[in-house]
Amino acid sequence: MWGRYLWKLRLLLFMPYLIFGIWAFNVSGNDSFPIYYWITLTGYMLICTVILHKMEKKEKKEKQ
C-alpha cells in the first residue's frame, strides 16, 4: 500500500531542500546569512528522514 505513495512523498519532502539550496546559493555572497536557517533545514531533514524510514519499514513489513 505505501509503496505507491513513497516516491511522491520523497519528491514532496525534497522540494524544500531544492528551494532552500537555490536561495542559499544566491544569498551566500552576503555575510549576514543567519545560522538559524541552517538549523531549521537540519531539523527538517531529520524529521523527513525519520518519516521516510518509518514508512519504508511499514512497506517492508506489509510485503512479508
- The structure's pTM equals 0.64
Q: What is the per-residue pLDDT across 25-61, written as a single tens digit (0 to 9) for each?
A: 777 666 556 777 778 888 888 888 888 888 888 888 8
Show the 3-state SS of the chain. Answer: CCHHHHHHHHHHHHHHHHHHHHHHHHHCCCCCCCHHHHHHHHHHHHHHHHHHHHHHHHHHHHHC
- Does 2 score more than 60 pLDDT? no
